[in-house]
């Protein structure tokens, strides 16, 4: 808070304030500051408020604790307009954040300092540009704030290099004739950790596509009846009773106008009615289960990532046990940290990296963790909003990374982190049939006590 504003705030109460007193107060946040000033003026009689008055007041004043946030996403924080400056700031933020992870693993000198070296080993951290394949070897450029250097990747490193996009990585190798001959490519990656164990169940689902003709209502009913303890027996029924959270990774509704001639595939053609129907279907989940609802590319919200949560008029349709979050979103479920990301970039990764496949979504998701970024490929099918802070960087290491979007089921553990793609509630569409995409709908992942189980609600 600037000092003149503080002086003015005291003036409202008819008081003057000593400059040193202002100095003490200037670091308080807005809300506490207003309350503290009101408190001082109520408890102190003198016309000029002294530093001692302030110190005494601060000792007896009860500060409001900041509410503990259990969601981190872009909702209400979007600042970008898509200008050139925004893009520069966006990439700067991405570089700064991800390079700090790489620097935990290797040292690194500036590109501009390379010229001092001759046939010596160097370590450089930078952003990859322009990967070229020459058959026997590959080359790419590595850029930091001070310059660009080309990197030669031969042998096995050629394959690693060909899987690089706009990644921030480290290169270890010999600097000779103006280029680095790489011995090692270092990803930011995540450290190995223990699996999270909790004594409650978390159910992961995605891509309900309410409103689509292909929405699988009978299977959905079976699922919600299981959650309600109406069907199943033995261990399965016990497990239902343990579920405290349901996390949904977006594409709640099928949307309207998402692709050409979509109306032919819709049962409900009005977007608002689709969400009314969605709210009705989520009512079938017992109220003591908290539902975290994220968004995807079929939802009624801006397409560019990071996406904010649904607009208020839609949120209001849902009952109180539904928490609306953006995409991506970090959510804290009683200490279990879940990173929800709808998964649009998985399309790009699976298309560009031949060893990845739609049948094993978990392998593509592991790439995101390794690269510490939810969309390592800029300019693919995933539109990105250039926020000043790159919220697609995986800053915190979650206990669970949860996606959907590609409508196939796959789970795995990577360095202790559960990766789960929990398929869909929509049968194969005409479009998917033409594209030879084979969804595995109605598969549900449940995480309980460090173990992940697969439940099939398909007939």
* By the rule CB under 5 A, 297 interacts with Zn ion: yes
For residue 210, the 8-state DSSP code is B
Stretch that binds Zn ion, among 146-154, 196-204, 290-298, 360-368 (CB under 5 A): 290-298
* By the rule CB under 5 A, 345 interacts with Zn ion: no
Binding region for Fe ion (CB under 5 A): 207, 251
Q: Which residue is nearest to Zn ion (CB)?
A: 405
Q: Is 201 exposed, middle or buried (0-12, 13-18, 19+ CB in 10 A)?
A: buried
* DSSP-H helix ranges across 248-343: 271-282, 312-315
Instruction: Give the one entry of Zn ion, Fe ion, none that residue 224 binds, where binding means its C-beta sits below a cut-off of 5 to 8 angstroms depending on kind.
Output: none
User: In angstroms, rounded to a whole number, what is the distance separating the alpha carbons of residues 397 and 191?
Assistant: 9
Asked if 173 and 180 touch (Cβ cutoff 8 Å), the reply is yes
* By the rule CB under 5 A, 405 interacts with Zn ion: yes
* By the rule CB under 5 A, 299 interacts with Zn ion: no
Q: How far is the CB of 405 from Fe ion (least distance, A)?
A: 5
Select 149 or 248, whichever has its Cβ closest to Fe ion: 248
Retrieve residue 115's tokens. 């010229």
Select 373 or 405, whichever has its Cβ closest to Zn ion: 405
Asked if 425 and 219 touch (Cβ cutoff 8 Å), the reply is yes
Select 224 or 421, whichever has its Cβ closest to Zn ion: 421
* By the rule CB under 5 A, 224 interacts with Zn ion: no
Select 251 or 390, whichever has its Cβ closest to Fe ion: 251
Helix/strand/coil for 137: strand
Q: How far is the CB of 356 from Zn ion (least distance, A)?
A: 17
Helix/strand/coil for 175: strand
Q: Roughly how many angstroms between the first and final C-alpha of the chain, as a whole number?
A: 61
Q: Which residue is nearest to Fe ion (CB)?
A: 251
Select 207 or 276, whichever has its Cβ closest to Fe ion: 207
User: In angstroms, rounded to a whole number, what is the distance separating the alpha carbons of residues 380 and 189?
Assistant: 22
List 173, 211, 255, 296, residue binding Zn ion (CB under 5 A): 296
* By the rule CB under 5 A, 251 interacts with Zn ion: yes
Neighbours of 20 (CB within 10 A): 11
DSSP class per residue in 152-179: EEETHHHHHHHT-SS-EEEEEEEEETTE
Q: How far is the CB of 252 from Fe ion (least distance, A)?
A: 10
Residues in contact with Zn ion, total (CB under 5 A)?
4
Instruction: Give the binding site for Zn ion (CB under 5 A).
Output: 251, 296-297, 405
């Amino acid at each position: 808070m600037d000092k003149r504003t503080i002086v003015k705030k005291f003036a409202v109460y008819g008081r003057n304030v000593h400059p040193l007193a202002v100095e003490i107060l200037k670091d308080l946040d807005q809300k506490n500051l207003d309350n503290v000033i009101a408190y001082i003026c109520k408890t102190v009689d003198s016309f000029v408020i002294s530093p001692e008055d302030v110190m005494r007041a601060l000792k007896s004043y009860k500060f409001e604790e900041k509410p503990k946030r259990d969601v981190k996403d872009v909702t209400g924080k979007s600042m970008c307009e898509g200008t050139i400056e925004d893009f520069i700031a966006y990439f700067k933020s991405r570089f700064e954040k991800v390079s700090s992870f790489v620097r935990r693993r290797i040292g690194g000198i500036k590109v501009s300092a390379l010229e001092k070296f001759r046939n010596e080993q160097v370590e450089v951290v930078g952003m990859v540009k322009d990967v070229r394949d020459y058959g026997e070897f590959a080359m790419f450029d590595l850029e930091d704030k001070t310059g660009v250097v080309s990197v030669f990747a031969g042998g096995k490193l050629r394959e690693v290099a060909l899987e690089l996009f706009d990644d921030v990585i480290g290169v270890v190798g010999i600097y000779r004739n103006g280029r680095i001959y790489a011995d090692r490519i270092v990803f930011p990656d995540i450290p190995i950790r223990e699996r999270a164990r909790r004594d409650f169940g978390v159910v992961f689902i995605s891509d309900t596509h309410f409103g689509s003709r292909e929405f699988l209502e009978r299977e959905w009913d079976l699922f919600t009846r299981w959650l309600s303890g109406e069907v199943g027996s033995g261990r399965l029924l016990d497990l239902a009773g343990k579920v405290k959270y349901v996390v949904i990774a977006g594409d709640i509704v099928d949307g309207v106008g998402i692709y050409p001639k979509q109306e032919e595939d819709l049962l409900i053609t009005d977007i608002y009615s689709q969400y009314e129907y969605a709210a009705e279907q989520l009512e079938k989940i017992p109220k003591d289960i908290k539902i975290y609802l994220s968004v995807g590319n079929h939802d009624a919200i801006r397409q560019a990532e990071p996406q904010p949560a649904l607009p208020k008029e839609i949120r209001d349709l849902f009952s109180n046990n539904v928490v609306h979050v953006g995409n991506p979103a970090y959510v804290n479920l009683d200490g279990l940290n879940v990173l929800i990301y709808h998964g649009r970039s998985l399309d790009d990764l699976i298309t560009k990296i031949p060893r990845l496949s739609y049948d094993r979504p978990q392998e593509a998701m592991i790439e995101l963790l390794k690269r510490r970024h939810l969309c390592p490929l800029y300019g693919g099918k995933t539109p990105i909003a250039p926020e000043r802070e790159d919220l697609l960087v995986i800053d915190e290491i979650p206990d669970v990374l949860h996606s959907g979007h590609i409508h196939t089921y796959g789970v795995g553990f990577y360095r202790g982190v559960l990766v789960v793609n929990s398929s869909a509630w929509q049968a194969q569409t005409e479009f998917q049939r033409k594209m030879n995409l084979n969804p595995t709908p109605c598969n549900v992942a449940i995480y309980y006590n460090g173990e992940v189980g697969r439940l099939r609600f398909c007939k």
